[in-house]
Structure 1
């Protein structure tokens, strides 16, 4: 029991800080705004670290793949499956939020720029995927261009062979350093979030609390159903009834580890062992699972859609129409790609939502609280989604009898 409480300690601390901050807001009202700068510091720290963290995590994952033999085929199959499963997860949560809207319209007035430059579709595409100067990559407004640049750096490093190995080690070192930096920043999260929510609740009252309860009530059942039904279906498509049997026989250990640690990276060793026992070929599992721990997040796609619907509801924005839905699905896929497999990594995806929708940074803590309460089941879905994805890649590359070609332990 002590070990379980220890593994949940940080999420419980975050929830406690939000709860305490909310109580302070109730008691002191608008006077609680005096501690709002403590929350603003936390927001600024997160935006400060997001650019190097995204670059090093993605480029190092690609540059340091152990198996390069079938990299092209594995990568092609893996990316298509990652996108497809992320798309399905986004649509599932979209349907749930349309039927049960999570935000009731607290009507928080947030500042938006008065002058917005109108661009053509072609100009928007160019500006989204590329930047004219290298220095522009350091802006969070160029997040997608940074992701593409990071992928290309990772591929170029891997293709460089021996001369590129020192640089590959540098990327790994940079990834570790910035992941550690995020962990250090997250030590300040209880103070930052507590202060921000004290200010927020002090100004806008109890309306937000009911909206958060709705968000939790929507997410948990959807995540459990997606885990039980969706992943069973994926396992069946990958290996038939035998695939389902071996999936459920071996998935509980990585699922429990990810649920307890809140980290895809922490669950990776257990997940690699589970994939081996399922029968996923070595080069596939050692490519798909490490990379998936960084860029494949079905649970985060579910959460991102919930956060988008939530912030639309809270800010009294219209969350209807095909264009709005397609944009939301696209953002969910991007958010799932950006998030890193570390505790609290969902903040990065939330930054993506804020950036691409053009919302002010003050909206970040509002949806960050949603991320805190759904993080454990989201991480569990993220990790087990990597496992079934490796099974689907094996089915696509090795044929329907792929499980027979590996020794099942």
Structure 2
């Protein structure tokens, strides 16, 4: 089983859950639901640590870099992520109503209705709540970043780097391996309640929109980069193919960095900028991930006849652009970082809807990662162009 990738395991979990919910005795379904419930409690306990580990270390790392270029790169990456999320909302709002209407919402009804409850539960409350974790992470991250700019704070930086490694280890050795069981329990319960086919009938269409939307946004990014730099965007896109395919195959932005640096070289990005920009953007630029999370969130809200207006979703998108910093460093990190903010739009951070979001996201995570890292090289080309102009201007002044 270790040789089987995460996506096949998730698909196996969904299929197993549907079969168990459809044909197994109630006691078997309830046993699986109990296991899923215990996992959910542990996940809820870990979520604040995920925020502290990822966000603190990610913001603190921004002390490294090349002064103005760091700010420019970070601004462009954040802006691109927000534009991607807003585009996903616009597309979802325009297209999803064609197959998610009031009849679908009424057919699905309350996703928790008719579901089985676990045999028992363990009262496991998080050590800190999500809001406290966010405020603490931002405060510590910004504080450490400021200290490092003055030659201090390295000890604190190392502490939070190692804390992030612990959180990553928990994700990679406990949470991610057990996700198929968690998802199997969720789908078994949904099937037992008689809702699974209605839900799956919606989401295969969502996938047909989300993955092409990644490619459309990549084309927009490279076209904008081509306009700014004067380079041929289609040639840059062609040079990016090895990086895209590597990300699809590895499902890891970190593993794609060496290939992505080579893609940037083929696009004519200077050594200084490509070796600075590509690793940084692999951490802070999440255009593909936010397209997926936003699209799935809108679909879930529509399916349950909940408010999915722009005023509801946009603050969520703005927060995700920050909260998912450094999330690509761990498997499924983007959706795990997004979970605490689902209540902003009315979706509980645990339970059936949350596990449905996890399942939907992770089954296409490799495509979201590929969109993330490929867009990094569009940013690298723009930053390299800005750096060249700044250098020429500095030389004239000198």
Q: Deviations over 1:70-96 (max 9, x none)?
A: 32x123212321232122212221222
Partners of 2:266 and 2:245 lie apart in 1 by 17
TM-score (norm 1): 0.79
- Residue 75 and residue 138 in structure 1: after superposition, are their counterparts in 2 closer, same or farther (change >3 A)? farther
Check whether the contact 2:55–2:324 (CA below 8 A) recurs between aligned residues. no
- Residue 241 and residue 280 in structure 1: after superposition, are their counterparts in 2 closer, same or farther (change >3 A)? closer
Do residues 356 (structure 1) and 353 (structure 2) align? Answer: no
Mean Cα displacement is larger for which, 82-91 or 143-152?
Answer: 143-152
- Residue 221 and residue 278 in structure 1: after superposition, are their counterparts in 2 closer, same or farther (change >3 A)? closer
Check whether the contact 1:62–1:155 (CA below 8 A) recurs between aligned residues. yes
Partners of 1:394 and 1:179 lie apart in 2 by 32
Structure 1 unmatched runs, 5+: 112-135, 403-409
Partners of 2:84 and 2:3 lie apart in 1 by 27
Residue 93 (structure 2) aligned to one of 87, 95, 98: 98
Alpha-carbon offset, residue 190 of structure 1: 1.3
2:138 corresponds in structure 1 to: 148
> What number of residue pairs does the alignment pair up?
369
Would you identify which runs of 4 or more consecutive aligned residues in structure 1 move more than 6 Å?
5-8
Do residues 17 (structure 1) and 13 (structure 2) align? Answer: yes
Give secondary structure in 2 for the equivalent of 1:100. Answer: helix
Do residues 49 (structure 1) and 46 (structure 2) align? Answer: yes
Check whether the contact 1:97–1:306 (CA below 8 A) recurs between aligned residues. yes
1:82 corresponds in structure 2 to: 77
1:200 corresponds in structure 2 to: 190
Partners of 2:272 and 2:143 lie apart in 1 by 22
Q: How does 1:331-342 map to 2 (within 5 A)?
A: 331-334=319-322, 336-337=324-325, 339-342=327-330
Check whether the contact 1:258–1:383 (CA below 8 A) recurs between aligned residues. yes
Q: Deviations over 1:170-202 (max 9, x none)?
A: 333222222121101211111121112111221
1:256 corresponds in structure 2 to: 245
Check whether the contact 2:14–2:180 (CA below 8 A) recurs between aligned residues. yes
Check whether the contact 1:63–1:155 (CA below 8 A) recurs between aligned residues. yes
Give secondary structure in 1 for the equivalent of 2:364. Answer: helix
Structure 2 unmatched runs, 5+: 114-125, 393-398
Alpha-carbon offset, residue 262 of structure 1: 1.1
Give secondary structure in 2 for the equivalent of 1:108. Answer: coil
Check whether the contact 1:293–1:340 (CA below 8 A) recurs between aligned residues. yes
Check whether the contact 2:257–2:279 (CA below 8 A) recurs between aligned residues. yes
1:117 corresponds in structure 2 to: none
Partners of 1:286 and 1:7 lie apart in 2 by 32
CA RMSD of aligned residues (A): 3.2
Check whether the contact 2:240–2:263 (CA below 8 A) recurs between aligned residues. yes
Give secondary structure in 1 for the equivalent of 2:38. Answer: helix
Do residues 179 (structure 1) and 176 (structure 2) align? Answer: no
Alpha-carbon offset, residue 272 of structure 1: 2.8
2:312 corresponds in structure 1 to: 324
Give secondary structure in 1 for the equivalent of 2:44. Answer: helix
Q: How does 1:124-163 map to 2 (within 5 A)?
A: 138-142=128-132, 144-161=134-151
Partners of 1:353 and 1:95 lie apart in 2 by 20
Partners of 1:90 and 1:328 lie apart in 2 by 10
Check whether the contact 1:300–1:382 (CA below 8 A) recurs between aligned residues. yes
Partners of 1:156 and 1:84 lie apart in 2 by 22
